[in-house]
Amino acid sequence: MSYLRGVVFTLGFLAAPLSAANRVVVPAEFVHDQVWVTPTLNGERLRFFTDTGGGWNAIGAQLVKRLEMPVETGGEVELVAWPAFDPRQSIPAAPAYFMGGRLAVAPNEHMHGRDGFLGGRWFADGVWAFDYPKASLDRVQGFEGDAAHPHRAPLGFQTNDAGARTTHFPSIDVVVDGETLPMLYDSGATATTTESSAPVFGVAVGTDIGTSFIEHAVFERWRAAHPEWRVIESADQKGPQQRRMIQVASVTVAGLSTGPVWFAEQPEGAFQQYMAGMMDRPTWGALGGSALKYFRVVIDYPGAAAYFEAATASP
């Protein structure tokens, strides 16, 4: 576990929800509006991609082989124990109830240059402070929620018949152009730039960037209502397909409006049907890094709420 900051929050929006709390510093870097955690193992710095809207907790097969990690079989999946990361450059362990807190061994072709992947079940049960402008991620201890906080957003989670959460994918209400749209809170939502979009974002072709997602029907509605909103054709490379992206002027979440925000188009039913089977309700898309970069956010998984503070960030 990483070391404690050991401070009491007394300033700004943090005063109410995080009073008398401690934070565990999580070694992290924010790259293209995406969040990576960077623990060290035997002195080697690793990079794990984090994704509140992702599933498995995994580690690359090549790394497992090189470090000679003992592998065990869990059904059809190979697993390794949670690594004993170096002190002061560690990250919180995954909850034990999912795969026994272990990491699935993922084929190298699924890692896309990552050492590992940490999804919604890694964040599950914790309270996390994301500060996008300062590029910091903390695990919060001693947290007490504030139901009366002016910028508190309820989060929805799917539960099973016993009342236990399933995927731990949070839904959140987002307002765009006066319409409230339920979305997945998805810190790992990714677009891969193409020849059309890479110059817009100032990156190389093929670069993964944080984005937000929206289903085709809403995309079309936005475009018809707002011809002034910028659209990039063939902007997001998804396998053999290239999808469009639209720059929405403003979004409102937890009573705070900010923008502009890029959304990548998703096929019909991607969220209303497919993701609906893993969430508490059908959603229309995902709120990702292209929107979250404007905020400091405290996500309280046990309390099913997120607390937002607007912060200056580059569009």
Residues 208 and 80 reside in one and the same domain: no
Mean pLDDT over 1-5 rounds to: 34
Assigned domain for 315 exists = no
Among 90, 115, 141, the domain boundary falls at: 141
Q: Which of 210, 204, 205 is nearest to 191 (CA)?
A: 210
Residues 90 and 177 reside in one and the same domain: no
Q: What is the pLDDT of residue 24?
A: 86
Residues 130 and 237 reside in one and the same domain: no
3-state SS, residue 18: coil
Assigned domain for 4 exists = no
What is the rounded CA–CA span in Å between residue 196 and residue 76? Answer: 40
**pLDDT by residue (tens digit) across 98-157?**
888 899 998 877 777 789 999 999 999 899 999 999 999 999 988 888 888 999 999 999
Q: What is the pLDDT of residue 74?
A: 63
What is the pairing mode between strands 179-185 and 285-287?
parallel
Residues 128 and 158 reside in one and the same domain: no
DSSP letter assigned to residue 99:
G
Assigned domain for 7 exists = no
Among 141, 165, 193, the domain boundary falls at: 141
Assigned domain for 305 exists = yes
What is the rounded CA–CA span in Å between residue 84 and residue 61? Answer: 17
Q: Cβ(198)–Cβ(207) under 8 Å?
A: yes
Residues 102 and 238 reside in one and the same domain: no
Assigned domain for 6 exists = no
Residues 214 and 115 reside in one and the same domain: no
CATH number of the domain that 95 lies in?
Answer: 2.40.70
Greater confidence, 20 or 180?
180
Residues 163 and 266 reside in one and the same domain: yes
Q: Which residue range(s) make up the domain with 28?
A: 12-141
What is the rounded CA–CA span in Å between residue 215 and residue 285? Answer: 6
Q: What is the pLDDT of residue 269?
A: 95
Residues 263 and 206 reside in one and the same domain: yes
pLDDT band at 18 (very low <50, low <70, confident <90, very high): low
Assigned domain for 146 exists = no
**pLDDT by residue (tens digit) across 208-231?**
999 999 999 999 999 999 999 999
Q: What are the counts of helices (DSSP H) followed by strands (DSSP E) for the chain?
A: 5, 27
| 86 burial via Cβ count (<10 Å: 0-12, 13-18, 19+) | middle
pTM listed for this prediction: 0.90
pLDDT band at 21 (very low <50, low <70, confident <90, very high): low
The residues near 42 (Cβ < 8 Å, ≥ 6 apart) are 67, 86
Q: For 265-303, give one letter per residue: b (16+ CB within 10 A) or e.
A: bbeeebbbeebbeebbebbbbbbbbbbbbbbbbbbbbeb
Residues 23 and 119 reside in one and the same domain: yes
Among 92, 122, 141, the domain boundary falls at: 141
- Structurally, the chain folds into a number of domains equal to 2
Residues 39 and 19 reside in one and the same domain: yes
Assigned domain for 183 exists = yes
Q: What's the mean pLDDT when you consider all of the chain?
A: 89
Q: Cβ(22)–Cβ(142) under 8 Å?
A: yes
Residues 304 and 165 reside in one and the same domain: yes
With left for phi above 0 and alpha for psi between -120 and 50, is residue 269 left, alpha or beta? Answer: left
Matching residue, tokens 């009491």: 8
Please check the confidence at residue 290 and state whether its pLDDT lies above 90.
yes
Residues 162 and 136 reside in one and the same domain: no
Percent of the chain with pLDDT over 70: 91
